[in-house]
Structure 1
């Protein structure tokens, strides 16, 4: 029975990675048809709301959407919107596979922030893994070679850093809020500033572009739910390595939809980054330490399921 549950968790995680990578491809397609970044962000959140509400209604119940921490959710929305802008920006500025490879630096930034902010013990093993991971980034980006835009690489790295910062804040929010509540309020609250700004960027679209914009929200919401459901059947330590399958999907979608294949350096540097992240996670698990707060790609779920570490501080 436990084996069946674990396989279900792995399958859901793989499905989620595929869907969220596909969402990234839809974002690039929509941008190519004239959609602007604020539009992409708005419709990612807006059209995900019905998906999330349906999931909550079938699970914990709509009553769980009530909250006494609206201010904390507003802070989460502000951080989340900033992180989303950098994440979507990286997707628009970089080839899909390269943007995905750079996103794998999240565990590296998590280690740095865990040491600096949460004061978690960090030995030379993990600092060495951080150094190796950044060496992998240099291999992928090839600074100065013109292989990929330097600005795009910096946007991608900032995205990974923001995800790490957001996850630390979510660890505090997760003390009282479950995953569904956090995801719901993030979507709803972020739609307010995006909706206000929308008239400044709104343009007319054809039916195909609108289908892409709706698909971004629906596929993104479903992918988020699959990430969450995976952790009901298997622990983070088991499903986390599945996140790296995103590079396979990014390469496939990049080839099929955009006729682009990763540079050979990406195939060399990406495994270095992946190995660094896996070693960090393995080392923490082996020492019996709390996993880094952003090892799971679905930070909402991870935050809701954990108790804060003893070094956590109120935000």
Structure 2
């Protein structure tokens, strides 16, 4: 069955929407449950989903893989990032926390430069500067009227997510993607399970359904992204990635009666502009490279 690029883009847009729903549900749950318990349920359903994929791929390397120190380190990095992001949802407007999470690609550029020795060209430096300018507008300077110290939690979460991406890139030379994904979710499940025992709150049936929906939305979105990445370049979906800001703003207004400030909206726009500009430049470079290879 042939799938067009428009169909793939539409599917990816659905994945972004599902992530926005997951974030909104996590924020709703954060008012009544410990953050570790929210991470646990998110990890549980993600792990069950990936386990079904592993069992369906019995000949894959994921079954034979051992939990190496590198896989363990990445799992702990991701669970810390997810914990801090969900914690930021407790104290920040949904749109603000979501926009700060989109700063992760900016940190990826810095990690690539200083930790992996990658070259930063002019366009990437410009896009990174624009994006960090947006982050500064959202967070504000210490002592200013717009400064919110809880925004720093979101920034650290974005940095850890970027670090996990660098770890994944390093591990990809030794492990297939399914192994990395499943081991990450397994470590997340174990770590969150252990840490949530002391503060566990048994959810009633209604809240348990919300936990289920949150986990299913996250797992389904991850599956959609994996399918899309197999069929097209990641840079092709960059613009769609930032549509999550629209959903976050809408959900925040409708369900939590929160409206970002003018400076925060401007900061979100700068983060989106910086990210889209960088992705478009990457896409242009890829096309040039393909043309050169063919010619």
User: Same fold per TM (> 0.5)?
Assistant: yes
Conserved in 1, the CA contact under 8 Å of 2:65 and 2:179?
Answer: no
- Pick the aligned partner of 1:265 from 263, 266, 269: 263
Shift in Å at residue 62 of structure 1? Answer: 6.7
Instruction: Provide the rounded CA distance (Å) in 2 between the counterparts of 1:120 and 1:288.
Output: 17
- Pick the aligned partner of 1:196 from 188, 194, 197: 194
| Greater displacement, 124-133 / 223-232 | 124-133
- Pick the aligned partner of 1:121 from 102, 119, 122: 119
Conserved in 1, the CA contact under 8 Å of 2:54 and 2:63?
Answer: no
Shift in Å at residue 166 of structure 1? Answer: 0.6
Aligned ranges 1:83-122 → 2 under 5 Å: 83-122=81-120
Conserved in 2, the CA contact under 8 Å of 1:97 and 1:250?
Answer: yes
Aligned ranges 1:33-44 → 2 under 5 Å: 34-44=32-42
Conserved in 2, the CA contact under 8 Å of 1:76 and 1:170?
Answer: yes
* Matched residue, 2:5: 6
Q: Deviations over 1:275-303 (max 9, x none)?
A: 112222333444459xxxxxxxxxxxxxx
Shift in Å at residue 96 of structure 1? Answer: 0.6
Root-mean-square deviation (CA), in Å?
Answer: 2.2
Shift in Å at residue 134 of structure 1? Answer: 1.4
Instruction: Provide the rounded CA distance (Å) in 2 between the counterparts of 1:164 and 1:224.
Output: 17
Instruction: Provide the rounded CA distance (Å) in 2 between the counterparts of 1:7 and 1:287.
Output: 22
Unpaired runs of 5+ residues, structure 2, are 288-295
Shift in Å at residue 31 of structure 1? Answer: 1.5
Instruction: Provide the rounded CA distance (Å) in 2 between the counterparts of 1:199 and 1:114.
Output: 37
Shift in Å at residue 61 of structure 1? Answer: 4.2
Structure 1 segments of 4+ aligned residues over 6 angstroms from their partners: none
Q: Deviations over 1:172-231 (max 9, x none)?
A: 221233332222221222222322222211123222222222222221111111111111
Instruction: Provide the rounded CA distance (Å) in 2 between the counterparts of 1:88 and 1:67.
Output: 33
With structure 2 as the length reference, what TM-score do the two structures score? 0.88
* Matched residue, 1:152: 150
Q: Deviations over 1:251-277 (max 9, x none)?
A: 111122112222222322211111112
- What is the DSSP-based 3-state SS (H/G/I as helix, E as strand, rest coil) of the residue aligned with 1:205? coil
Q: Please tell me whether residue 26 in structure 1 is matched to residue 25 in structure 2.
A: yes
Q: Please tell me whether residue 68 in structure 1 is matched to residue 69 in structure 2.
A: no
With structure 1 as the length reference, what TM-score do the two structures score? 0.83
Change (3 A) 1:45 1:230: same
Shift in Å at residue 17 of structure 1? Answer: 0.8
- Pick the aligned partner of 2:243 from 245, 256, 268: 245
- Pick the aligned partner of 2:225 from 227, 234, 240: 227
